Amino acid sequence: MKGIIALIAIVALGFGAYYFTHTSPQTSATTGTTASTTQQAGSQATTTEVKTETVIGTSVQGRPITAYHYGTGDKEVVFIGDIHGGYTWNTALLGYKTVEYFKNNPTAIPKNVKVTVIPVLNPDGLNKVVGTTTANFSQADVASGQAAQIAGRFNGNTVDLNRNFDCLWQAKATWQGRTVSGGTGAFSEPESQAIKSYIETQKPIAVVAWYASAGGVYTSSCGSATSPETLALTNLYAKAAGYTSNTTYTADPLPGDMTNWLAKIGIPAISVMLKTHTDMEWGANQAGIDAVLARYAK
């Protein structure tokens, strides 16, 4: 009997040894694979490419609307140029000059801020007047004659894009005594749709839009009082740039205005009107840009 018990004990010990030596390495290998996978996932998460240029949409005629991004902070400030195409070609040059400024001076952007610049919102209108939509043009390329430049104000559907946003929108509006189209509905145009999509997705902390020409900075609102932040931005930019600060724009009614739509959805936005249609007034606007960014550096 003792011999049988001893035999059973030996068999049991042998089986246990076999189990341990054949299963432990397999378990260890599985754990190692899991760790490796976790490490890979972590590596991918920390090496995500930061894009400096994105196409946020296309125009009626298929031209890209490009946004340039600088900085990696969680507060995004958006600068938008040339909503009126060839009629305000100097605001396109201002937009491209701003892109160049941030590219060459990354320290101008506070660490907690991201800057997005959209130099040309109406590429079809700009192309109509200067023959391109890139930064490679000068005043010498601008089509002569007021009629040609006025025609370049509108997009490929002859819609005034700054009458196509959802704030008091109307199908017909006026500009300098002319009847202009606001589109078939708010956001009927691909250019305004592109901005709408970007803004609603990114939710920037502030937007600055460049126009011409009145030599002033204007607040935004849509049927309600101007927000304190919008008023502060208006006064800040105007003081830095040497422009006048204004709470109303009386030259034309503005149904469907872009910055007023931004106010409607709760985003502080200002309209910066350059003094002329021929100068981007870089020194003044650089000071305004720097002042806005310094406000959000806190």
- pLDDT tens digits along 234-278: 999 999 999 999 999 988 899 999 999 999 999 999 999 999 999
CA angle, residues 151, 157, 159, in degrees to nearest 5: 65
How far apart are alpha carbons 99 and 119 in whole angstroms?
A: 8
Largest alpha-carbon pair distance within the chain? 119
Question: What's the Cα-to-Cα distance from 57 to each of 11, 65, 154, 196, rounded to whole Å?
Answer: 75, 5, 17, 10
Residue 39 CA from chain centroid, whole number: 33
The whole-number pLDDT of residue 290 equals 98
**Four-point Cα dihedral 139, 140, 144, 148, nearest 10:** -60
In this structure, which amino acid lies at residue 264?
K
The DSSP letter of residue 87 is G
Which residues of the chain fall short of a pLDDT of 70? 1-50
CA atoms within 13 A on the CB side of 128: 26
Name the burial class of residue 280, with classes exposed (0-12), middle (13-18) and buried (19+) by CB atoms within 10 angstroms of its CB: buried
DSSP labels for 113-141? EEEEEE--S-HHHHHHHHS-SSS---GGG
Q: Give the pLDDT of residue 51.
A: 74
Are the beta carbons of 128 and 151 closer than 8 angstroms?
Answer: yes
CA dihedral 214, 160, 209, 177 (to 10 degrees): 20
Cis before 213? omega within 30: yes
Give the pLDDT confidence score for residue 15 in this predicted structure: 39
210 phi and psi, to 5 degrees? -100, 130
pLDDT given at position 161: 98
Half-sphere exposure of 23 (CA within 13 A, CB side): 6
pLDDT at 1: 43
On whether the CB atoms of residues 163 and 143 are closer than 8 A, the answer is no
User: Could you read off the pLDDT of 192-243 as tens digits, one per residue?
Assistant: 999 999 999 999 999 999 999 989 999 999 999 999 999 999 999 999 999 9
Angle at 163 between CA 117 and CA 187, to 5 degrees: 75
Point out which residues pair with 113 in neighbouring strands.
Answer: 75
Q: Residue 230 forms beta bridges with which residues?
A: none
Q: How would you label 101-125 residue by residue, b for 16+ Cβ within 10 Å and e otherwise?
A: bbeeeeebbbeebbbbbbbbbbbbb
